[in-house]
């Protein structure tokens, strides 16, 4: 026994040192005002679209475009499964649509089509069927440049803006991100402007068949009978659209403007996401607004704020982020700091003080369309996005404010609690930005070939809300908690895991739910928990870590990858500890792996992507994840090892 205690003491001493280094590294990255923000990286699509936006407007910045060109060339594929295209995530297979946009952008920047990297890209694109086989958003982009006819795009009349709420297809039946992207896009698809394109850049060489001769742009495979029905509707509307009354068309365009104007969100942009901002800029340009018009100038400034230096990775490079993530980054960093140094850490307090004034208390956003009686009280993901807070951010912020224990934050936590309660869907689960957004037939319209038009309840978001409410432990919330737990039980996969809608993937979802079930007070020997914990243990890699391929959103095995990753390892460990397995050998091995790959500065990095915007369509790499989560996991392991109960005391 003495030898075991001595060994444990030695291990904990080494662990303490590793935690101290990681804590110091994370603490040093806090901004002077208390907040954190890290890069949020996507694929080639957004920087390529930005290049094309400058050519659409004829507002070309040659120096910036050259820097974006460096980035695009650096992330081009060069492997057997991606011989020359661009992937959606690190080391992924070629994606046709991203590759067409990246090629188009590089050609616009000035790359010689006969250069080796352009030739490889062109051959890869043609081998996949060419630009005619790209997704809807890419075909719209190409139509704006006259690269293919508008009949290549689904019929989306701007009169959609005028449809009443009872109609099957309205703006209010789709997700926030779809709503903000589509409102200005409807104007573009109706007005059909032609890009200024001052250098007359064309990509005819990317088509197997000349674009005018292609007859099947809108085609299957369809995911259900709905797809065939909507294809028939698209075909019927196509000849009729040109005869729509001009008066209603003008009214509909004005309705789109009236929707966008109060949501412009200053220099943080419409919806605070790049596609909505860029579409808004093109809409103003198309409608004849002068560049110095306040709304046009604000929208353009919002787009430009997303330009990001990437010279730390590729000398001289720049790219464009899809959005910024300061609320999420700050709250996650604060949780890690609190676990490592205690909730009384001055840096935790500083982060909380920064978060407090960003609570949205005076705007009833789009969420109120379905939940008009819920009192505002949420946080957004970005610096400002008052119309679009989300319950995921709100729950994570609420948990750190509660854990920090400052009485001055009590009212903020209470307002967050009431809003989260008010956003619960009828199923017992929670979506991220809206409630009961489950009009699944809409994912089968021709426009929605990405299959991500909606924001239905998901396991990871539901888990975060249950965790928050469980941590607060108000007796009157028990019904809502139990409904959430019942939803999570129903949503568990046959193998014991949960799907991770917003993080990669089943490891993320399973960690999230295990935290929630623990916070809700379930016994650790509950079959739902034991099945999930056993699944996590079964996925541990030989080196002691965990990893998951982004292809698990397609047909790759759940919870597996060819290497261990710091973020996924931390999630698995946090999940097992929430399940009462902190003393399991798998946890000790995972902690040892994290220590073994800790870098000299005390932190961790990872190249593979660790999150998702839209499964199988748009993936994300949070640069902050390997900064937060490994520290949180190691500190929690130490704290549980030194404690008495073995039960995690917090929801996150």
**Active-site residue list:** 392
Query: Of the candidates 571, 604, 593, 23, which has an alpha carbon nearest to the alpha carbon of residue 333?
Result: 23
Query: Of the candidates 646, 328, 363, which has an alpha carbon nearest to the alpha carbon of residue 502?
Result: 328
Cβ-Cβ contacts under 8 Å for 240 (sequence gap 6 or more): none
Peptide bond between residue 198 and the one before it cis (omega within 30 degrees of 0): no
Phi then psi dihedrals of residue 543, to 5 deg? -80, -5
Distance CA 143, CA 151 (A): 9
Cβ-Cβ contacts under 8 Å for 487 (sequence gap 6 or more): 427, 428, 429, 457, 462
The single residue listed with the structure tokens 């399940």 is 579
Query: Of the candidates 620, 231, 649, which has an alpha carbon nearest to the alpha carbon of residue 447?
Result: 231
Q: Which two tokens stand for residue 449?
A: 């070939």
- Give 493-517 as a 3 state SS string: CCCCCCCCCCECCHHHHHHHHHHHH
Cα 44–chain centre separation: 15
Decide: helix, strand or coil at residue 40: strand
* Contact of 530 with 537, CB cutoff 8 Å: no
CA atoms within 13 A of residue 460's CA, in its CB half-sphere? 23
For residue 390, give the DSSP letter: B
Phi then psi dihedrals of residue 492, to 5 deg? -65, 135
Q: What angle do CA 74, 79, 81 make, to 5 degrees?
A: 120
């Amino acid at each position: 026994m003495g030898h075991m205690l001595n060994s444990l003491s030695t291990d904990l001493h080494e662990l303490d040192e590793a935690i101290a280094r990681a804590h110091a590294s994370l603490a040093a990255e806090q901004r002077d005002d208390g907040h954190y923000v890290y890069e949020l990286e996507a694929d080639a699509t957004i920087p390529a679209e930005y290049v094309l936006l400058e050519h659409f407007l004829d507002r070309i910045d040659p120096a910036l475009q050259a820097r974006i060109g460096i980035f695009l060339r650096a992330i081009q594929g060069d492997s057997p499964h991606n011989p020359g295209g661009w992937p959606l995530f690190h080391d992924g297979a070629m994606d046709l649509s991203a590759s067409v946009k990246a090629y188009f952008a590089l050609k616009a920047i000035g790359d010689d089509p006969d250069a080796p990297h352009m030739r490889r890209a062109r051959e890869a694109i043609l081998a996949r069927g060419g630009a005619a086989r790209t997704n809807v958003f890419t075909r719209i982009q190409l139509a704006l440049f006259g690269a293919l006819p508008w009949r290549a795009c689904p019929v989306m009349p701007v009169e959609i803006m005028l449809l009443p709420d009872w109609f099957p297809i309205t703006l209010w039946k789709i997700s926030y991100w779809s709503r903000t992207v589509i409102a200005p896009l409807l104007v573009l698809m109706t007005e059909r402007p032609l890009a200024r394109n001052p250098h007359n850049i064309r990509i005819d060489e990317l088509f197997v068949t000349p674009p005018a001769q292609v007859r099947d742009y809108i085609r299957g495979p369809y995911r259900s009978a709905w797809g065939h029905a909507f294809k028939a509707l698209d075909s019927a509307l196509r000849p009729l659209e040109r005869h729509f009354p001009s008066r209603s068309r003008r009214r509909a365009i004005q309705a789109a403007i009236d929707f966008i104007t109060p949501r412009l969100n200053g220099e943080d942009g419409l919806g605070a996401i790049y596609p909505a901002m860029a579409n808004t800029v093109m809409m103003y340009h198309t409608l004849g607004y002068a560049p110095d018009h306040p709304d046009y100038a604000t929208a353009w400034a919002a787009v430009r704020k997303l330009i990001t230096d990437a010279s730390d990775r590729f000398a001289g490079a720049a790219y464009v982020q899809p959005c910024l993530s300061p609320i999420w980054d700050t709250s996650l960093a604060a949780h890690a700091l609190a676990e490592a140094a205690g909730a009384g850490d001055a840096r935790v307090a500083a982060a909380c003080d920064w978060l407090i004034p960003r609570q949205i208390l005076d705007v009833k956003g789009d969420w109120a369309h379905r939940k008009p009686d819920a009192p505002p009280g949420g946080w957004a993901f970005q610096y400002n996005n008052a119309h679009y807070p989300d319950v995921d951010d709100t729950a994570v912020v609420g948990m750190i404010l509660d854990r920090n224990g400052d009485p001055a934050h009590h009212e903020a936590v209470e307002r967050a609690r009431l809003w989260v309660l008010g956003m619960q869907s009828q199923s017992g689960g929670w979506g991220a930005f809206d409630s009961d957004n489950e009009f699944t037939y809409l994912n089968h319209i021709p426009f929605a070939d990405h299959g991500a038009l909606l924001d239905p309840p998901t396991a990871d978001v539901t888990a975060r809300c249950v965790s928050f409410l469980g941590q607060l432990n108000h007796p009157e919330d028990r019904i809502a908690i139990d409904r959430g737990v019942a939803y999570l039980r129903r949503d568990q996969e046959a193998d014991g895991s949960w799907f991770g809608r917003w993080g990669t993937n089943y490891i993320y979802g399973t960690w999230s739910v295990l935290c929630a079930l623990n916070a809700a007070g379930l016994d650790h020997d509950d079959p739902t928990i034991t099945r999930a914990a056993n699944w996590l243990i079964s996925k541990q890699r030989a080196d002691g870590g965990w990893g998951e391929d982004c292809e698990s959103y397609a047909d790759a095995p759940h919870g597996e990858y060819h290497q261990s990753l710091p973020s996924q390892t931390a999630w698995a460990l946090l999940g097992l500890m929430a399940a009462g397995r902190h003393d399991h050998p798998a946890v000790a091995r995972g902690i040892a792996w994290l220590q073994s790959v800790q870098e000299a500065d005390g932190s961790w990095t990872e190249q593979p992507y660790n999150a998702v915007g839209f499964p199988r369509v748009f993936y994300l790499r949070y640069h902050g994840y390997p900064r937060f989560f490994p520290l949180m996991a190691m500190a929690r392991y130490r704290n549980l090892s030194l404690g008495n109960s073995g039960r995690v005391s917090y929801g996150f």
